[in-house]
Chain A
Amino acid sequence: MKGRMTTHDTSTRYASYIVGFILSVFATLVAYLVVVNHIWPMETLVYIILGVAVMQLIVQSVFFLHIGQGSRWRLITFVFAIIIVLIVVVGTIWIMNNLDYNMMRMTPDQMQLYMKQHEGI
């Protein structure tokens, strides 16, 4: 019957899901426990959280989404999508944080206080 997998194919697939599942649970718990127990200050934690998340992304892409198998175009479009996602997210954060460059980097409240103190406004 067309489309039916052999027992050998499916056992590799079963293994794939089980390994992927265990690794994902592990990654989730690591990130969670590290944050909840404040093991490091937040500045360091941000990198760890992101790193673990990327690791889980790779695990799930490989073991659940079977990236790398099938059409080569799935991998190419996957990589391109990641690049665009990074450009949009990092670019937006960089730009938006830079827009007060010429304003002495004050919040609106600080600016109001400054103007009151120095210019009597």
Chain B
Amino acid sequence: MKHQAEEIAVQERKTLGFWIYLMTDSVLFAGLFATFAVLRGNTFGGPSGAELFNLPFVLLETMILLVSSFTIGMALLGSARGFKKQTIFWLMITFALGAAFLTLELSEFSKLAAEGNSWQSSAFLSAYFTLVGTHGLHIAVGLLWLIVMIVRLWRFNFKKSDLGRLALFGMFWHFLDVIWIFVFSIVYLMGAA
């Protein structure tokens, strides 16, 4: 088998590489944020954000995501100490919270679309649905990743590679919460004028 030093070096590369991917993802979101900022006033005669957004609802979504950032931290700590049941427990809570977030968001989207304010109605709404929807897609990918990890942990116990991947997932999940801070602030709070 290979040296421990070599394995640590490999994990360091994966951590740095994945971190850099997250940094590139920020630039992708920057493009979407810039687009939203430019197009937010182009409602084509339709309603603006202030008229459409339900701030208490969005606050609930924000809190759910924030708690899930905490619970994934707990899962990571459990895994670092080798506690399988604890880790799976916290991972499942994180999954439930993430799924709740997505459900709320999807209900918000379908309500808007049903009342005639869809992504096809105006540039503002196209920008809104795409920015928030891209974040939601990332959350969905995260949920899929969580399922795969939970299943593996259940069946196989901890393997070294799983610990590494869990750490990467933690970074991913925290990153999505950071992006949400700006969605919450720039799209919803600033839109409330």
Contacts and interface: CB of A to CB of B under 8 A. Distances in A.
B185 A50 contact: yes
Interface stretch (B72-80, B117-125, B133-141, B145-153): B72-80
Interface in A70-109: 70-71, 73-74, 77-78, 80-82, 84-85, 88-89, 92-93, 96
A10 B81 contact: yes
Contacts of B31: 88
B80 A17 contact: no
Contacts of A111: none
A49 B184 CA distance: 10
Contacts of A35: 55, 189, 192
B81 A5 contact: yes
Contacts of A4: 80-82
Interface in B55-80: 55, 59, 62-63, 66-67, 69-70, 73-74, 77, 80
B70 A10 contact: no
Contacts of A81: 23-24, 26-27
Contacts of A25: 63, 66
Contacts, number: 127
A16 B12 CA distance: 22
Interface in A1-39: 1-5, 7, 9-10, 13-14, 16-18, 20-21, 24-25, 28, 31-32, 35-36
B189 A14 contact: no
A10 B192 CA distance: 41
A20 B88 CA distance: 23
6 contacts: A5-B77, A31-B189, A61-B178, A81-B24, A84-B30, A88-B27
Interface of B: 4, 12, 15-16, 19-20, 23-24, 26-27, 30-31, 33-35, 37-38, 55, 59, 62-63, 66-67, 69-70, 73-74, 77, 80-82, 160, 163, 171, 174-175, 177-178, 181-182, 184-186, 189-190, 192-193
Interface of A: 1-5, 7, 9-10, 13-14, 16-18, 20-21, 24-25, 28, 31-32, 35-36, 42, 45-46, 49-50, 52-53, 56-57, 60-61, 64-65, 70-71, 73-74, 77-78, 80-82, 84-85, 88-89, 92-93, 96
Closest A-B pairs by Cβ, 3 of them: A17-B73, A81-B23, A92-B34
